[in-house]
Amino acid sequence: MSEKKDAYVEKLKAKIEELNAEIDKLSAKAKEVKSEKEAEYNEEIESLREKRNNLENKLIEIREASESTWENLKLGAESSWESLKEKIESMKSRFGNK
């Protein structure tokens, strides 16, 4: 892998680790809410986990991609990351209000 690609893979791995920590925090907070909302929050958290898994799959694709194609895959990974980040921020603000 090129140094640029290696650096991006490491950066994306760090972002995924950050996501894992945020999802764990949200899971812990979901356990503190009233039971009628807990199922809703757990469903949303499961959706986050699925999207995180998709991002991990994109990381694997990038790692295995040729030098000429990985940049295109990077765009999809960045889009997935931004979407997840926005969803987590939204959930954090909602949990904070409960």
**CB-based burial of residue 97 (10 Å sphere; 0-12 exposed, 13-18 middle, 19+ buried)?**
exposed
Give me the pLDDT at residue 1, please. Answer: 64
pTM above 0.75, yes or no: yes
Nearest to 85, CA basis, from 23, 5, 6: 23
| Residue 98 confidence (pLDDT) above 50 | no
Rounded to whole angstroms, the Cα distance separating 23 from 16 reads 10
pLDDT tens-digit readout, 66-88? 988 998 999 999 999 999 999 99
